[in-house]
Amino acid sequence: MPLILGIESSCDDLAAAVVRDGREILSSVVQSQDAVHAPYGGVVPELASRDHVRYLHVTVERALVRAAVSLEELDGIGVTSGPGLVGSLLVGLSFAKALAYRTGKPLLAVHHIEGHLASARLERDPLALPFVGFVVSGGHTALYRVETLGRIELLGQTRDDAAGEAFDKVAKRMGLGYPGGREVDRAAQEGDPRAFAFPRPMLRERGLEMSFSGLKTAVALQVARAEEDAGGALPRRVRADIAASFQEAMVDVLVTKARRALAATGLERIALVGGLAANRRLRARMTQLEGELGVEVRFPPTALCTDNAAMIAAVADHMLREGRVASLELEAFSRVPLEARPEGWS
């Protein structure tokens, strides 16, 4: 029954968690920086890493106290080593290395995306393997075939912006507040998804590649046009219509790609993970697909969809069992594909 401490600091959220046996969450603490970045309408890397330095040690301590576990009782320390903002990653990684050095416990280097995919296995009733894993977050939009943790194959991904990034930029352009995705989701509730015909990129191409920068630009142009028509700020109604129409285009693309990934792999299970898995319209449409195809669609609870350290500890647990321990010399990697990790990562 290994006890693992997980640490996640790859972007703007700082998190620590203790997980037993790769599945049972004894504690999961997330220190959000939304208030730090809100005035800028986006993550400011320098502020993110500085805030991590300030709170990391109390966040880890809180996770250990809530789990009622001492450092000595741990079997391993798992930490996100990439991808992410390098300054942010280094804070968590340096701290984890120091802890591993001082306690003599093994250090497990976790890939952030593998963490997201593991969140589908963190429930009482985990999604059976193999499954299609659809990572829809602020930094990534990619489909994977998950055979088991450690055996994951990329099926297709976005060529440019991540879906969450497009949500955030659309929100910022319309002055909807930060973080943007949730605000677009909220504004869209009052809007008409058919009010504007935005493009559905890459639906005609057969593969599983995606692209969202054209859609984002089309929305920005529409916002500018509507502002001109209104002679100033957008009326609430128009804002809601644009939000709903953008969200519908996005969800159309994501649901179509999910359907194709199921068909291409012949798998009957799919997990949506990452911040966008909290989107109400995406959930509703995927639930429809579940009924239509008779497949199993899984959304982990929102707290596990967004960045957290329980998912990092879950992967670390698996790596420990396979003896894939990292060296204390390990660096942080801002960009690193899941399928081709650098030497020394393990």
Task: Output the smallest distance, CB 78 to Zn ion, in A.
Answer: 15
Query: Choosing among Zn ion, ligand KG4, none, which partner's interface includes residue 164 (Cβ < 5 to 8 Å by kind)?
Result: ligand KG4
Contacts to Zn ion by CB under 5 A? 137, 307
Rounded CA separation 201/161 (Å): 12
CB closer to Zn ion, 51 vs 307: 307
Asked whether the beta carbons of 40 and 1 are under 8 A apart, the reply is no
Query: Is 115 a binder of ligand KG4 (CB under 6 A)?
Result: no
CB closer to ligand KG4, 41 vs 275: 275
What sign has the CA pseudo-torsion 155, 138, 107, 23? negative
CB closer to ligand KG4, 11 vs 100: 11
Only one of the segments 117-125, 142-150, 175-183, 326-334 lies at the binding site for ligand KG4 (rule: CB under 6 A); that segment is 175-183
Query: Is 299 a binder of ligand KG4 (CB under 6 A)?
Result: no
Query: Which member of 131, 134, 144, 167 binds ligand KG4 (CB under 6 A)?
Result: 167
Query: Which tokens go with 81?
Result: 């080593």
Place of tokens 């697909």: 289
HEC sequence for 38-93? HHHCCCCHHHHHHHHHHHHHHHHHHHHHHHCCCHHHCCEEEEEEECCCHHHHHHHH
Query: Which member of 182, 216, 269, 318 binds ligand KG4 (CB under 6 A)?
Result: 182
Number of residues that bind ligand KG4 (CB under 6 A): 19
User: How buried is 52 (Cβ within 10 angstroms: 0-12 exposed, 13-18 middle, 19+ buried)?
Assistant: buried
Backbone angles phi, psi at 314, to 5 degrees: -65, -40
Task: Output the smallest distance, CB 93 to ligand KG4, in A.
Answer: 17
Task: Output the smallest distance, CB 312 to Zn ion, in A.
Answer: 10
Query: Which member of 16, 274, 304, 332 binds ligand KG4 (CB under 6 A)?
Result: 274
Rounded CA separation 273/29 (Å): 19
Query: Which member of 92, 180, 191, 193 binds ligand KG4 (CB under 6 A)?
Result: 180
Query: Is 78 a binder of ligand KG4 (CB under 6 A)?
Result: no
Identify the CA nearest to 84 among candidates 166, 7, 176. 7
Within 321-340, which residues bind ligand KG4 (CB under 6 A)? none
DSSP single-letter state for residue 307: S
Beta bridge partners of residue 146, listed in sequence order: 131, 152
Task: Output the smallest distance, CB 147 to ligand KG4, in A.
Answer: 23
Query: Is 114 a binder of ligand KG4 (CB under 6 A)?
Result: no
Query: Is 279 a binder of ligand KG4 (CB under 6 A)?
Result: yes
Query: Which tokens go with 138?
Result: 């602020």
Query: Is 106 a binder of ligand KG4 (CB under 6 A)?
Result: no
Element (H, E) at 14: strand 14-20
Q: Strand 3-8 vs strand 14-20: parallel, antiparallel, or unpaired?
A: antiparallel
Only one of the segments 41-49, 263-271, 274-282, 333-341 lies at the binding site for ligand KG4 (rule: CB under 6 A); that segment is 274-282
Rounded CA separation 263/59 (Å): 43
Binding mask 117-156 for ligand KG4 (x = CB under 6 A): --------------------xxx-----------------
Measured CA angle at 151 (ends 148, 153), to 5 deg? 115
Query: Choosing among Zn ion, ligand KG4, none, which partner's interface includes residue 182 (Cβ < 5 to 8 Å by kind)?
Result: ligand KG4
Contact residues toward ligand KG4 (CB under 6 A) are 11, 137-139, 164, 167-168, 179-182, 185, 274-276, 278-279, 306-307
